[in-house]
Amino acid sequence: MTLSETLTSRAAAAVDVSRAARSSKLSALVMLAAAVTLGALPFLVFAKVTDTLVNLFVLIALASMWNLLAGFGGLVSVGQQAYIGIGAYSVIAFADQGVQPYLAVLLAAVTCAVFAVPTSWLAFRLRGDYFAVGTWVIAEVYRLLVVRVDSLGGASGKSLSGLSGIDQTLRGALTYWIALGLALASVAAGYLLLRGRLGLSLMAVRDEETAASSVGIDVRRAKRLVYLVSAAGCGAAGGVITVSSLSVNPDAIFSVQWSAYMIFIVVIGGIGFIEGPLLGAVVFFALQQLLSDYGSWYLVLLGAVGMAAALWLPRGLWGVVRDRTGLSLFPVGYFVRTRAADVDSH
């Protein structure tokens, strides 16, 4: 063996490359315990607490889908409320046909993915700011189409059928569990997608689309896939909103306010981090609970917080945590471990 081969062998023996650092493995156990605890909450607390947490889980799912779309795919949309509305009305329509509403939530996700295919053909003809505005216009078109369908209640909306025979306590617990499942599935879906080749492709497209295309990445396919996943997640969230509120109103469910919530949460938490929507949703949810009694000042304060975060925390709260501690709860890159320290190669 030559001297260079010997040095290379010793260097390789001193370096361990893995997909997770020790802190990530420990945090995974903590998150698993937290998920189990959250799953048991209907047996431990009053229904009012779990009913409130349903809103938090919906926000986590929506923000995770928007972060996947914009933070990793570079597709800044302000029209994801289109799929929230389609998902909500899909649950209403399936329930009217005799489908159990909780099962209809899953079918609503599939329905939104189907709707997203032709919608993406139109939306992807636009770039940058035009794409953002175009998605909002598309959402408005879907709203106008829905209000013209009398069987869906028209402009006044419609109540959900199919849950009246279920005990109220059991219904609240089932709604809580499906909302929790949606939040966990949204985070897990983003994590699994980003750990593979698609994740590398998406981040390459986000950073420089032309360069990504020049090295053989199918840009349109990567964008369309992440767009369909985001649409399905938002549709399922719309379905959960319907089974939680037991009714739907077109102006409320198709409101651009939903996109504003998603953007606010991701900006606060940290765009481009899987952990960002989780932290941002908790902060936003806490602000909602604390400031909701202040009337219009509630919106003013939320706006002030959002502007402050955009100016002084461009990477969000999780970006600050990551820079200071190196902690990654959902590592999608590789870690190079030496005897001295763990260094993230990405």
Per-residue pLDDT at 346 = 47
Cβ atoms within 10 A of the Cβ of 20, count? 18
Encoded amino acid at 41, one letter: L
pLDDT number for residue 315: 87
Nearest to 263 by CA among 306, 232, 296, 292: 306
The C-alpha atoms of residue 139 and residue 136 are separated, in whole angstroms, by 5
Q: Identify the bridge partners of residue 248 per DSSP, sorted by sequence position.
A: 158
Cβ 104 vs Cβ 224: under 8 Å: no
Residue type at 9? S
Q: What span, in angstroms and rounded, lies between the C-alpha atoms of 104 and 175?
A: 13
pLDDT confidence of residue 22: 56
For residue 155, the number of C-alpha atoms closer than 13 Å in the C-beta half-sphere is 1
Phi, psi angles (nearest 5°) of residue 344: -75, 125
Distance, in Å, from the CA atom of 278 to the CA atom of 317, rounded to the nearest integer, reads: 11
In order along its 346 residues, the chain shows pLDDT tens digits of 554 555 445 544 455 555 555 556 676 788 888 889 999 999 988 888 999 999 999 999 999 999 999 988 888 999 999 999 999 999 999 999 999 999 999 999 999 999 999 999 999 998 888 999 999 999 999 999 999 998 899 889 999 988 877 888 899 999 999 999 999 999 999 888 888 777 777 777 776 777 777 777 777 888 899 999 999 999 999 999 999 999 999 999 999 999 999 999 999 999 989 999 999 999 999 988 888 777 777 778 888 888 888 888 888 999 888 888 877 788 775 555 565 444 444 4
Nearest CA to 261 out of 91, 84, 109, 116 is that of: 84
- Six-digit token string for 93: 């329509």
Closest by CA to 282, choosing from 52, 82, 47, is 52
Coil, helix or strand at residue 127? coil
Q: Which amino acid is at 84?
A: I
So where are the chain's domains?
16-344
Instruction: Give the start-end residues of each E strand in the chain.
Output: 16-18, 158-159, 247-248, 335-337, 342-344
Dist CA 1 CA 7 (whole Å): 10
